[in-house]
């Protein structure tokens, strides 16, 4: 009898532990259907960015003030219809509704921001549009020398608390690894209202154009070795943190997915691998995972989950300092 692949994440029933992370692929209905057909357990839609909302709210305000003090008849048909102005927020709401109509698997909406401002009201509207859960992607680069570590951490928890206040649907928080105490911060985010943590956000680094002397975007897809960092922290956190855990960054092959589950991840998210190989790569990975599970006589992925976490692994110290020491001593 083959091992079962179904699992739960954010209280939602998933047919597999593979989740298609937010990317251009998840913004199109045809590729969403292909991801579902290939076996993805859930999908995360492209993010609604705080900057998009702020920019377009300001633009709407500008349009409403256009021609103020002029004679209305002189403006004629020039005055734009506000209802026709296609703001990013409205597009995101429609995307959720369309995805829910097209798919049977859970649909997770994504918000990307740095402050607990007015944009969080979209969290409630995304939930009302049918999102089964919301993922907050906090992409914060602290540049103020006067801002302390506590100040930065409070911004994270304030954002989570603000969104939690707006919605009743499950809430995941995607964070980076750059905290002075990752374990403490993870606990604070759960206390603020996170039902799951997604580890870790990739902070894309800009480049310099030597001819035009400009700072330019430089997007590089992830590599399998990048999964070691989130894998280590899931192994450490899974034994005491009362929330779901998702691994992201670096999952390309069945090996990475299985390792993430072994250290305690509830799901594994893919974006770069799907952009490289297409939506059907989900089926390729799941088929290979099925064979591995059957060959090793597992009855379900729940049976192997967490069996190599920090608290369960026979050489658990390798997750922390001894790994560093052994590598340096034994390297030739």
| Start-to-end Cα distance in the chain | 45
Confidence of residue 71 (pLDDT cuts 50, 70, 90): very low
SS (HEC) of 139-189: CCCCCCCCCCHHHHHHHHHHHHHHHHHHCCCCEEEEECCCCCCHHHHHHHH
Three-class secondary structure of residue 40 per DSSP: coil
- Alpha carbon distance 308, 316 (integer Å): 8
Mean pLDDT highest for which of 62-66, 143-147, 255-259, 326-330?
A: 255-259
Percent over 70 (pLDDT), the chain? 81
Instruction: Please report the pLDDT score of residue 326 as a whole number.
Output: 61
**Domain topology for 7-330:** TIM Barrel (3.20.20)
Cα dihedral: 144, 148, 151, 156 (round 10): 80
Token pair for residue 98? 């369309």
What global pTM score does this model have? Answer: 0.85
Q: What is the pLDDT of residues 142-163, one digit of tens each?
A: 888 998 989 989 999 999 999 9
Instruction: Please report the pLDDT score of residue 82 as a whole number.
Output: 41
Buried b or exposed e, range 91-116, using 16+ CB within 10 angstroms: ebbebbbbbeeebebbbbbbbbbbeb
Q: What is the pLDDT of residues 220-243, one digit of tens each?
A: 888 888 999 999 999 999 989 999
The region that residue 306 occupies, defined by phi over 0 for left and psi between -120 and 50 for alpha, beta otherwise, is left
| Domain assignments of the chain as residue spans, ordered by start | 7-330
As beta bridge partners, residue 138 has 113
Peptide bond preceding 235: is omega within 30 degrees of 0, i.e. cis? no
Instruction: Please report the pLDDT score of residue 36 as a whole number.
Output: 98
- Alpha carbon distance 138, 195 (integer Å): 15
């Amino acid at each position: 009898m083959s091992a079962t692949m179904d699992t739960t994440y954010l209280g939602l029933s998933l047919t597999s532990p593979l989740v298609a992370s937010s990317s251009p692929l998840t913004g199109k209905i045809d590729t969403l259907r292909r991801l579902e057909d290939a076996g993805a357990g859930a999908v995360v839609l492209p993010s609604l960015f705080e900057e998009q909302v702020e920019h377009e709210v300001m633009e709407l305000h500008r349009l409403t003030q256009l021609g103020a003090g002029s004679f209305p008849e002189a403006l004629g048909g020039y005055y734009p219809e506000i209802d026709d102005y296609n703001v990013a927020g409205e597009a995101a709401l429609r995307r959720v509704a369309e995805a829910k109509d097209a798919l049977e698997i859970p649909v997770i909406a994504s918000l990307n921001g740095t402050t607990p401002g007015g944009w969080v009201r979209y969290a409630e509207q995304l939930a009302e549009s049918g999102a089964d859960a919301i993922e907050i992607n906090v992409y914060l680069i602290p540049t103020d020398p006067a801002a302390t570590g506590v100040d930065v951490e409070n911004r994270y928890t304030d954002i989570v608390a603000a969104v939690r206040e707006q919605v009743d649907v499950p809430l995941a928080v995607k964070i980076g690894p750059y905290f002075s105490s990752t374990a403490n911060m993870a606990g604070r985010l759960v206390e603020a209202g996170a039902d799951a943590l997604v580890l870790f956000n990739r902070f894309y680094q800009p480049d310099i154009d030597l001819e035009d002397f400009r700072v330019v975007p430089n997007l590089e897809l992830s590599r399998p070795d990048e999964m070691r960092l989130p894998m280590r922290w899931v192994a450490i956190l899974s034994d005491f943190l009362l929330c779901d855990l998702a691994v992201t960054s670096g999952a390309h092959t069945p090996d990475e997915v299985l390792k993430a589950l072994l250290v305690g991840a509830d799901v594994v998210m893919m974006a770069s691998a799907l952009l490289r190989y297409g939506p059907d790569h989900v089926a390729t990975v799941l088929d290979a995972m099925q064979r591995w599970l059957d060959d090793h006589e597992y009855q379900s992925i729940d049976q192997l989950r967490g069996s190599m976490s920090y608290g369960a692994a026979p050489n658990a110290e390798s997750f922390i300092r001894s790994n560093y020491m052994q590598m340096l001593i034994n390297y030739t």
